[in-house]
């Protein structure tokens, strides 16, 4: 089975711009979770989608949003970028039940200048 893929792998934006990141989960997985990872804060949960519905949301401002399509692919969007949004954005897929292992993609490295 193909693993989780994320595009793009690297992105450079300037403050005030917006960005869309894409994640394709493992075939058959219905849950996609997004995390932000920074050296200072570690892995922080953004949100999780299951069958096109946002099921959980972390403590991030409304500038961070996401969606999931009927084929389980997911996108996350960050509007009005700030310098502090520079991070590795990881998506993880799983079948969607408790105790599920999460399978992570390689991440998108976002740099905001």
Partner 1 sequence: SQKIEQNSEALNIQEGKTATLTCNYTNYSPAYLQWYRQDPGRGPVFLLLIRENEKEKRKERLKVTFDTTLKQSLFHITASQPADSATYLCAYDRGSTLGRLYFGRGTQLTVWP
Sequence-distant (≥ 6) Cβ neighbours of residue 16 within 8 angstroms: 80, 81
53 contributes a contact to partner 1 by CB under 8 A = no
Q: Is 39 exposed, middle or buried (0-12, 13-18, 19+ CB in 10 A)?
A: exposed
**Sole window of 13-21, 44-52, 62-70, 75-83 interacting with partner 1 (rule: CB under 8 A):** 44-52
Q: Looking only at residues 78 through 107 of this chain, which bind partner 1 when binding is defined by CB under 8 A?
A: 88, 90, 92, 94, 96-99, 101-107
31 contributes a contact to partner 1 by CB under 8 A = yes
**Checking phi first, is residue 70 left (phi over 0); if not, alpha (psi -120 to 50) or beta?**
alpha
What is the smallest separation between the CB atom of 73 and partner 1, expressed in angstroms?
Answer: 16
1 contributes a contact to partner 1 by CB under 8 A = no
């Amino acid at each position: 089975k193909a693993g989780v893929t994320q595009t793009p792998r690297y992105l450079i934006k300037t403050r005030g711009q917006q960005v869309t990141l894409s994640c394709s989960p493992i075939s058959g997985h219905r849950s996609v979770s997004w995390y932000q990872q920074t050296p200072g804060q570690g892995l922080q949960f953004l949100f999780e989608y299951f069958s096109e519905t946002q099921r959980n949301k972390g403590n991030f401002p409304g500038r961070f949003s996401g969606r999931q399509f009927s084929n389980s692919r997911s996108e996350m969007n960050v509007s009005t970028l700030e310098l502090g949004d520079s991070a590795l954005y990881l998506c993880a897929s799983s079948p969607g039940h408790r105790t599920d292992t999460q399978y992570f993609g390689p991440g998108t490295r976002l740099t905001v200048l």
